A and B are shown apart, each in its own frame.
Chain A
Amino acid sequence: MEHTDPDSIRRQTKIYVAVFAALATLTIVTVTVSYLHLSAVPAIAVALLIASIKGSLVAAYFMHLIDERKAIYAILILTVAFFAVLMFVPSFGNWDQRILR
C-alpha cells in the first residue's frame, strides 16, 4: 500500500538515499572481492549473493515492491519459478554422466 502523502514521500526519499549508499558500498565490495581471485565456487557464490542483495534493495525500495499488491507478488513468484527452471534444468542433461565420471 503506497503512502503518497507528502510526509511519507519525504520519509521515503531518506530511505532512497540510504539505499544508494548501500548499493554503492556493495559495488565496491564485490569488485574488491573479485581481486582476491577466489576459486570458482566461492567466487560465484559471493558475487551472486552480493548481486542478489543489491537487486533486492532496488526491487524492494526503488520499485516499491516492499509494500506492493498481492497480484504483483503472485506474478513475480510465478516468473521466478519459471526463471529457475530455465536456468537450471537444461544443465541436468548430462548429470548422470558427470556423476559417473
Chain B
Amino acid sequence: MSATQSHGHAAHGGHDAGHGHHELPFWRKYVFSVDHKVIGIQYAVTALVFLFFGFTLMMLMRWQLAYPGQPLPVIGKLLGENAMPGGVMAPEFYNQLGAMHGTIMVFMGIVPLAVGGFGNFVVPLQIGAPDMAFPRINMASYWAFLAGGILMLTGFFVPGGAANSGWTSYPPLADIATAGQTVWLFAMVLLITSSLLGSINFIVTIVQLRAKGLTFFRLPFFVHAQFVTAFLLLLAFPPLEAASVMQLMDRLAGTSFFLPSGLVVSGDPLRVAGGGSPLLWQHLFWFLAHPEVYVLILPAFGIVAEVISNNTRKPLWGYRSMVYATVFLGFMSFVVWAHHMFMTGMGTAMSTFFQTTTMIISIPSVIILTALFISLWGASIRFTTPMLFALAFLPMFGIGGLTGLPLGLAPSDIHLHDTMYVIGHFHYVVAPGTIFAMFAGIYYWFPKMTGRKMSDFLGKLHFWPSFLFINGIFMPMFIVGMAGVSRRLYDGGLDYSHAQGVLHWNAFMSVSAWLLGLAQIPFIVNLFWSMRKGAKVGANPWEATTLEWAAAPSPPGHGNFPEIPTVVRGPYDYSVPGAPTDFTPQHHDLVEA
C-alpha cells in the first residue's frame, strides 16, 4: 500500500528526535496497525469492496425487474439451480438480493466508508492530533467490522440462502425465516459492536485531542458532522442490538418476543407461547434506523462543506448556523422514528406527534443545504473533480429531501408507503446524495493519503455518465411508485392492472443501472493507476486552510505533524483581505507570509 510505504520516508525528515522509533514488522504496520491513517484506509477499501458487491446484487435484481421470468444469460447458470433455476431468478433469491443489498449498502458500505474511512483518516489530522484517543480500540473496531461483514456474506451459503426478510427484518416473517436470518443477526451484533467502539473513539478524540487554540467554533464543519454522527451511533444502535438479541432468542430459544398469539403459518398454528408484539421490533428497529439515515447524510454534508469552501475560495456562508442546525438535527433524529410506521394502525395522538417532529426536522436540513448553496454566491469556483461531485450533491439531496415530505405526512403516506416512491426518495438522498459526496471525498483526500493526484480526465469521465445514469435509475421510481407499484415486488408490478401504464420504466431503470455500473470503471482504473502513476503532489495541492492540508505532509508520517500546530483562526479563512495568498491556514498568523 503506497500510502504507508511512503509515510515511513516522509516521517523521518520531521520526526521528533530522541524518541526511539523502531520499525514495525509488515503485519504490525499494514495489517494489525493501530495508526488511524492505516485503519482509515483499511475501512475505506473494505467498504468500497462491499459497496461494489452490494451494487452487483442490485444489478442482478434489476434484470428480473426489467425482464421478469427471463433467463439471465451466462451469469444465470453460474449462480446455481437454487437461486436461478434454468437461469431464471427464483422469487426467494430476489428477496435475498433485496435484503442483502440494503443491509450491505447501509451497514457495510456507506457508514464504514463515511465514518470508519473518512472519519478515521481525516478527523485526527483536522484537529491537530497525533492519532485517535484509543488506537487499539480503533484497530479492534475495524476487525469487528471485517468479521461482521464477512459473516454477513456467508449467509448466501447457508441452506435457504441469505437473509430475505428485507433489510428491516420485520417479524413475524423474520422470526420464522430461513437460517440466513440468524446469520444476519449475529453479523449485525458484530457490526454494531464495531460501530460502538468507533463512536466512543470519535467523541473522546474530538473532545480531548484538539490542538491548542482549536476551540469548538474553529473546527472544520466536517469534524462537527462526525461529532454529531458519533453521538447518533452511540445512543441509537444499542436498541437494535437489544432487538437483535430478542429476535435471536425467538429464533433459537423459542421465545415469542415478536410473535403474537394465534399465528398460523401455511395452515398450521405456530407452536409457540405467543403474546409477543411484532410492533415492538418495529419500534426498536426504527429507533436505530432513523438516526441511522442521519448517520448516512451528516458525514456527506461534512465532506461537501469542505470541498465547497476550498473550491469557492470563500468562507462557508452560515457556518455557525450549520453547526447549530447539525446539533439540533442530531437531537431531533431520535424523536421521529415512527414516521416509518404510520401504516401500523397507530392512533392519532402518536401519528400527530411524529408528523410534527418530522416536519420540524426538515428545518435544520434545509438550513444546511441553503447555507451550502449560498456559499456558492460570488464565489470563484474551481471545477475540480471533487467540486463536480459536491455541486451535484446539492440539488440531488434537495430532490431526496423534498420527496421525503409527502412520506412524513401521514395522509399522503397512506398512498406512498411501501411503494417504489419510497425507494426513489431514499436512494436520491443516499446515492446521488451521500455516495456522490463520498466520491468527492475520495478525489479530494486521495492526494493527502497517497501523495499523488488522481487523474482529472478520468474523474470527469466518471462524473458525467454517473450523474446522468443515476438520475435515470431513480427519477422514474417516483412515477412508478405513485402509480401504485409496491416495493420488494419480484415482478416489478407486472401483475398489477393499475401499473400497466408505467411498466416500461422498469427496463429503462435497469439499463440505467447497468450503464451506471460501467461508468464506475474509469473510477476504479483511476484509483489503481493514480496510486502508482498519479502526479506527485506536495502537502497542500488544493491550497486549503484546514490542518490536514496546511500542517501535515502528503502522506503524513508517524505522529502526523512534524510540529504540533497551534490554531489561531477559524477553518475557512479564504480570501482574507490583506493576506498574501487567497488562503490563510488555521495555524498561520497573518503577520508571517
Contact = CB atoms under 8 A, between A and B. Distances in A.
B347 A93 contact: yes
Nearest to A100: B347
Contacts of A8: none
B347 A82 contact: no
Given A71-B207, A82-B334, A95 B349 contact: yes
Contact of A85 (B207, B335, B347, B348): B335
B182 to A, nearest CB: 26
B280 interface: yes
B24 interface: no
Contacts, number: 37
Contacts of A71: 207
B350 A92 contact: yes
B349 A96 contact: yes
A86 B335 CA distance: 9
B287 interface: yes
B73 to A, nearest CB: 49
A96 B207 contact: no
Contact of A97 (B231, B235, B344, B347): B347
B130 to A, nearest CB: 22
A94 interface: yes
A85 B283 CA distance: 11
Query: Which residue among A85, A93, A96 has the maximum number of chain B CB atoms within 10 Å of its CB?
Result: A93
Nearest to B236: A82
Nearest to B344: A93
Interface residues of B, number: 19
Contacts of A86: 239, 287
Interface residues of A, number: 14
Interface string A21-61: 00000000000000000000000000000000000000000
A13 interface: no
Contacts of B350: 89, 92-93, 95
A79 B347 contact: no
Nearest to B291: A82
A96 B348 CA distance: 7
A71 B207 CA distance: 9
Nearest to B347: A96
Contacts of B235: 78-79, 82
B270 interface: no
B45 interface: no
B90 interface: no
B260 to A, nearest CB: 15
Interface of A: 71, 78-79, 82, 85-86, 89-90, 92-97
Nearest 5 interchain pairs by C-beta: A96-B347, A92-B350, A90-B283, A95-B349, A93-B346
Interface of B: 207, 231, 235, 239, 279-280, 283, 287, 331, 334-335, 338, 344, 346-350, 353
Given A90-B280, A90-B283, 19 more contacts: A71-B207, A78-B235, A82-B235, A85-B334, A86-B239, A86-B287, A89-B338, A89-B350, A92-B346, A92-B347, A92-B350, A92-B353, A93-B350, A94-B346, A95-B347, A96-B347, A96-B348, A96-B349, A97-B347
13 contacts: A71-B207, A78-B331, A82-B235, A89-B335, A89-B350, A92-B346, A92-B347, A93-B344, A93-B346, A93-B350, A94-B347, A95-B347, A96-B347
